[in-house]
Structure 1
């Protein structure tokens, strides 16, 4: 327990919220809060600041890590990217010490006093947002959700139409999605075609071609009809937790290759697929 007597009230109340004061000082502060409107208002602001800070920190922990960084970590000395698939995060300590919390509380008070809403919502004279609060959900988010579910299925449930259906898969998917394609042969890349599914993402039908490598990892090629873009052929990397995605635009269709984030050759695989499909 720490003795905070003589310190500013906001620091004392921060310690009180953290349970880092003695019983005698806790009773003293509770009596002060009960009779003093200003102390009570300050405590409520600190509680709101703690809630806001905790929520922001949790959201930060779930932000996607750059795909290149994950690959460098997983391919470091002595690490096999096929066996080491999860980047472990250090558990967050449940209780922080007094001074860091007090500093955070002071910053929260400054934000509240300085019109936080104006800072977050402010745009420049050129109408460029200063802070993007939340990114819009895209069809890639839907695909990632599908992949996370289907990649865990056994062979008999992995696909809707098995690979044995052959060329019928191309006609079936092309007629439903509105995109003509050639079924890529990825055997030279160590991938075996498993079959296909018809999905819905962003309210549109999506074709999904499923492959497996020798380790049992599932890779998918997904595409849907879209408005022709200005960045045809440009590969874009993104990641959803442990799922890596390489997407591109080609004519009136959008494509994405999905696989484990630890696979170092996913971009080369996507380059090969973009020329074959």
Structure 2
């Protein structure tokens, strides 16, 4: 059992919540909680913080993993397993339990203090979560299409690369986005042709390329008048697929390929400049 006398009350109450105190200290804190309203309020906030932290961590585990992080993990962090084990072994066991709880509780206090501001400003913040939800749906559907079509041998595309002018005219009129087919031979990609997809009932153009290893990389785009102009390239991942998306001139673009491909960001920037 832990001995927490002389440390901050938050730490003592955290150990109290975990049931890690000796009987004498538990009895002492029971008496304090029975007589001190502030101590009871702090205990309630720590409990709420723990629940909030657990829920936030669970949500984090289900969030899309940034492509840059996946690449860093695959390429190695430079920390040896041995030094990692030593660092873990030297970390006080109790601190690993206590401090995340205190941080979570502090977050709850901050959130409670900002409730009024959130309510007053919620009308202007609704659009951003909605846009993010739409973006997730758009990328998820592109991922499903890519998994199906990238496995095709004889019918990889609807219109072959040899009919480049026809592709540009056909897709521009179908999707409502004027574009040029990017030439990416210098980046190791050979243009194979194009397809017309449908996402949320709206047409989406897909330009299909093959890299030197035979993997399929595609550029997809759709008209989206509500898309804010931005020069940002946003990296994300869905399973074994990596995405880099951007917006420009009332249209949304995304390049999709294997998540192991370290050149997707560079390919997106090159395609954005040429398309």
Do the aligned partners of 2:175 and 2:204 also contact (CA within 8 Å) in 1? yes
Quote the offset at 1:137 in angstroms: 0.9
Q: Secondary structure at the match of 1:155?
A: coil
1:266 paired residue among 256, 264, 267: 264
Quote the offset at 1:209 in angstroms: 2.4
Q: Deviations over 1:118-149 (max 9, x none)?
A: 447659xxxxx9xxx96841654333212332
- Is 2:120 the counterpart of 1:156? no
Aligned to 1:190: 189
Aligned to 1:236: 232
Q: Secondary structure at the match of 1:240?
A: strand
Q: Where does the alignment leave 5 or more consecutive residues of structure 2 unmatched?
A: 79-84, 119-123
Aligned to 1:117: 112
Matches within 5 A, 1:7-26: 9-22=9-22, 24=23
CA distance in 2, matches of 1:122, 1:158: 58
Q: Where does the alignment leave 5 or more consecutive residues of structure 1 unmatched?
A: 79-89, 124-128
1:176 paired residue among 168, 174, 177: 174
Q: Secondary structure at the match of 2:173?
A: helix
- Is 2:48 the counterpart of 1:48? yes
Assess, with a 3 A threshold, how the Cα gap between structure 1 residues 159 and 257 changes in structure 2: closer, same or farther. Answer: farther
- Is 2:219 the counterpart of 1:221? yes
Assess, with a 3 A threshold, how the Cα gap between structure 1 residues 99 and 211 changes in structure 2: closer, same or farther. Answer: same
Q: Secondary structure at the match of 1:21?
A: coil
Do the aligned partners of 1:173 and 1:198 also contact (CA within 8 Å) in 2? no
Aligned to 1:2: 2
Matches within 5 A, 1:59-98: 62=63, 65=66, 67=68, 97-98=93-94
TM-score, structure 1 as length reference: 0.61
Assess, with a 3 A threshold, how the Cα gap between structure 1 residues 217 and 121 changes in structure 2: closer, same or farther. Answer: farther
Aligned to 2:203: 205
RMSD (Å) for aligned C-alpha atoms:
5.1
CA distance in 1, matches of 2:106, 2:265: 45
CA distance in 1, matches of 2:3, 2:144: 53
Quote the offset at 1:198 in angstroms: 1.3
Quote the offset at 1:74 in angstroms: 5.3
Quote the offset at 1:48 in angstroms: 0.7
Do the aligned partners of 1:199 and 1:208 also contact (CA within 8 Å) in 2? no
Quote the offset at 1:258 in angstroms: 2.8
Assess, with a 3 A threshold, how the Cα gap between structure 1 residues 110 and 193 changes in structure 2: closer, same or farther. Answer: closer
Higher helix fraction (1 or 2): 2
CA distance in 1, matches of 2:104, 2:227: 43
Assess, with a 3 A threshold, how the Cα gap between structure 1 residues 71 and 235 changes in structure 2: closer, same or farther. Answer: farther
